[in-house]
Amino acid sequence: MGFLSRASATAYNYFGWLGPLILKIFRSMPDQLKASGKGVFPEAYAALVGMLTLISAVASAALFLFLWLAMGVIMQLSAMVFTIPVITLLLLVVYPWLSTKALETALEAEIPYAAAYISVMAAGGISPYSSLQRIRSVKLMPKMTAVAGLLDVHVKARGVDPVSALEKIAEELPSREFKELVQGYSATLRMGGDTTHYLVRRTEMIFSRQEAKVRAIAERMAMLAEAYLAVGILLALGLFIMFIISHALPLEVALFGVDTFLTVSYFILPFLSILFIYFADMLQPKYPTADYRPYRFVLFTFPIFLFSVMAFFAPTFIPQLTPLLWPFVSARDELVRLLGLERGFDAAFGIIIPLLILLVPAAIAEIIYSSTEKNILTGVTRFLREMVEVRKTGLTPERSIESLSRRKYGRFSKILRTVAGKIAWGTPYQKIHEYVQRSVRHWVSKVNLYILFDAIEVGGGTPETLEALARFSEQMETIEYAKRAGLRPLLIIPYIGAFVLIFAALVLLGFMKTSLLLAGRVLAFDAFLRLFLPPLVLNIAMMGLVAGKIAEERLAAGFKHSVLMILVTILAFVLSPHIAAFLTPPA
């Protein structure tokens, strides 16, 4: 029993009378709970909703009295605490729906590859029920593994025949593709048709739909990137311009205070970038497993990043730290001098240096790892197609792998030679599969190789079976290529936004400096730069992360874009005096 089930049982025991009341108000809750696959009794979960809402309401009332009577906060502000039970109720009511959507998204990512596996195994004489049970032995498809577990319960514990059990589960799951696949298979089987041909054709249709979904995803990401350009970048530009103009005005008519600027630039703008990263993550399909190795480099360099922030950035605003950290401060100032920049840019480099320390190792690792995995995926697809042709000559699957191991398939060649050696020594396919899972990180490559070895071990690796596998693998690679081609142009939007932000800010700074000199006003320009430039650098680095998430579907891909944008920012700093001199009149 999971935590949600235990909590619901406890709530039903003490607040069971609230369950029917909640269900009368939210009538769709039982259906959403059933579709989410949580396995929770609806009245018990409704009792949990009522219990937590009631507890939060009592706590809010106590907090209201404390704030109003004891702390002296005005009644209108104190009454805002009563939004807590409302938010609690809404979140708990929406939770089953969110769980259903998450399950639907996960199933959409796994079902095309599960259908390919079932079709390939059917070509070798294995039924879908047996294929799903074999999926349980590996951890490649977590949601389909859970479906296989439910199927096993229906068949072995309740005595339902496998086909009827499949139909029942397909009706309950929030996946149209899986439902149509199972219903068509059961109808073909009962009418005595060719189930293998149906499964293969249906899987090809699923992959065709998947390709259309990829195009739709690219369009949604384009809309999201445009929204980020309008909200995140133009809003930042407008706020930075307001702050510059406010400082150019006399003190008594200043419009934009320092506290407001620091709050907006260090908290609100980065929060907006994080929000868009979250939206992109919700809209993009995700594989069950991902390569987390680049993030390990971030974890490794994070303590160094914190120390470098203290060493290079903090002394700018806490002068007492300067004597303690003088070697780092002098190195930063010397770098600013060598680049030909004036005083005031030191604070910007105080944040640039820590960001580069944090991101450069992870960016290099991500470039190496992602290029390696893409190369392996291409090599696996070529290998499967050539194996089909070699297998048609009459060679056994094992001899086919051994002969193909002498050919070049990019980064996959080394893995293939090791696999061929293990097969020659009689290593079980289970051990070979474990080696492949450790050596390959890209989920699609893992699935292709797992289907290959399982088809050889169970289905004999017939030419028909391998032909189906090679065709599906080529479709998988086509979908990956279409996805990258559709998303790659979106990279230009954050880059354009960052360029506009840097260019406009620096030109306006130069214009303000010249105009104030013409007006006979004196402004501590270096102090203004120390206040203005660090958040500009920080938000440009956040734009790189958004660019990586939107255009390459991985936050780790944003590391290299952040580094590139920071380097472009440094170049803009170096050229800023010349740009300002060209665009502004001489003082």
Q: Tell whether 556 is covered by a domain.
A: yes
Q: Which of 451, 486, 521 is the last residue of a domain?
A: 486
pLDDT of residue 524: 61
| pLDDT band of 520, cuts 50, 70, 90 | low
| pLDDT beyond 60 at 583 | no
Q: Scanning the structure block, which residue is given the tokens 């300002």? A: 580
Instruction: Work out the angle between the directed axes of helices 443-459 and 429-439 (0-180°, nearest 10).
Output: 170
Residues 400, 418, single domain; the answer is yes
Mean pLDDT score of the chain, rounded to an integer?
82
Q: Is residue 159 part of a domain?
A: yes
Structure token digits, residue 169? 């589960």
Domain assignment present for residue 18? The answer is yes
- Are 235 and 351 in the same domain? yes
Rounded Cα gap, residues 387 and 404, in angstroms:
7
The count of other CB atoms within 10 Å of the CB of residue 255 is 11
Please check whether residue 135 lies inside any domain of the structure: yes
CA 36 to chain centre: 22
Give how many domains the chain has, as a whole number.
4
Tens of pLDDT along 531-567? Answer: 888 888 998 999 899 988 888 888 898 999 999 999 9
Neighbouring CB atoms inside 10 A of 109's CB total 18
Does 362 map to a domain? no
Say how many CA atoms lie within 13 Å of 29 toward its Cβ.
26
379-401: buried (b, 16+ CB within 10 Å) or exposed (e) per residue? bbbbbbbbbbebbeeeeebebbb
* Alpha carbon distances (Å) from 545 to 28, 138, 286, 513: 38, 33, 18, 32
What value, to the nearest 5°, has the Cα angle with vertex 120 and ends 114 and 121? 90
317, 223: one domain: yes
Tell me: do 517 and 434 sit in the same domain. no
End-to-end Cα distance, the chain: 76
Residues 353 and 493 in one domain: yes
Of the residues 164, 185, 210, which one is the last residue of a structural domain? 210
Judge whether 145 and 179 are in contact, CB under 8 Å. no
Report d(CA 401, CA 92) in Å as an integer.
54
Single residue among 175, 192, 210 that ends a domain in this structure: 210
Average pLDDT over residues 11-35: 82
What average pLDDT score do residues 514-532 get?
68
Residue 585 clears pLDDT 70, i.e. is over it = no
Whether residues 351 and 452 fall in one domain: no
Whether 522 and 458 map to the same domain: the answer is no
Note whether 223 and 349 are same-domain residues: yes
* This model's pTM is above 0.85: no
User: Residue 352: its pLDDT value, please?
Assistant: 93
Alpha carbon distance 448, 454 (integer Å): 10
**Confidence label for 252 from pLDDT (cuts 50, 70 and 90):** very low
Query: Domain check: are 340 and 236 in the same one?
Result: yes
Q: Are residues 262 and 388 in the same domain?
A: no
Structural domain of residue 403, as residue ranges?
A: 373-486
More confident call, 297 vs 578: 297
* Span 284-313, pLDDT tens digits: 877 888 788 899 999 999 999 999 999 998
510 contacts 584 by C-beta, under 8 angstroms = yes
What mean pLDDT do residues 34-50 have? 80
Report how far residue 23's alpha carbon sits from residue 34's, in angstroms, rounded to the nearest whole number. Answer: 14
Furthest CA-CA distance within the chain: 95
237 shares its domain with 340:
yes
Mean pLDDT of 349-353: 92
Alpha-carbon separation of residue 501 from 528, 543, 569 (angstroms): 17, 11, 10
Q: Is the pLDDT of residue 522 over 80?
A: no
Pair (274, 135) in one structural domain: no
Residues in contact with 511: Cβ distance below 8 Å, sequence separation at least 6, in sequence order: 580, 583, 584
Confidence of residue 519 (pLDDT cuts 50, 70, 90): low
Q: Which helix (H) or strand (E) holds 541?
A: helix 525-552
Within a domain: 75: yes
- What integer pLDDT is reported at residue 474 of this predicted model? 84
Mean pLDDT of 328-354: 87
The predicted structure's pLDDT at residue 257: 67
Residue 481 within a domain:
yes
On whether residue 236 sits in a domain, the answer given is yes
Query: pLDDT by residue (tens digit) across 417-469?
Result: 998 898 888 888 888 888 888 888 888 888 888 888 888 887 667 787 888 88
Q: Which pLDDT score, from 0 to 100, does residue 358 have?
A: 94
Least confident window among 247-261, 494-508, 521-535: 247-261
Instruction: Answer whether residue 321 shows pLDDT above 90.
Output: no
The pLDDT-based confidence of 282 (bands split at 50, 70, 90) is confident
- The string of pLDDT tens digits covering residues 199-215 is 888 888 888 888 777 77
Distances (CA, A) of 21 to 11, 36, 39, 570: 14, 22, 21, 62
As given in the structure block, the two tokens for residue 352 are: 């640039």
Helix (H, G, I), strand (E, B) or coil at 561: helix
Structure tokens at 51: 């219990």
Are 214 and 482 in contact by the 8 Å Cβ rule? The answer is: yes
Any idea what the CATH number is for the domain that residue 393 is in?
1.20.81.30
Q: State the Cα angle at 281 between 278 and 285, rounded to 5°.
A: 165
How far apart (Å, rounded) are the C-alpha atoms in residues 498 and 537? 10
pLDDT tens digits, residue range 67-123? 666 655 555 555 666 777 888 888 888 888 877 777 777 788 788 888 888 888 887
* Structure tokens, 325: 């950290």
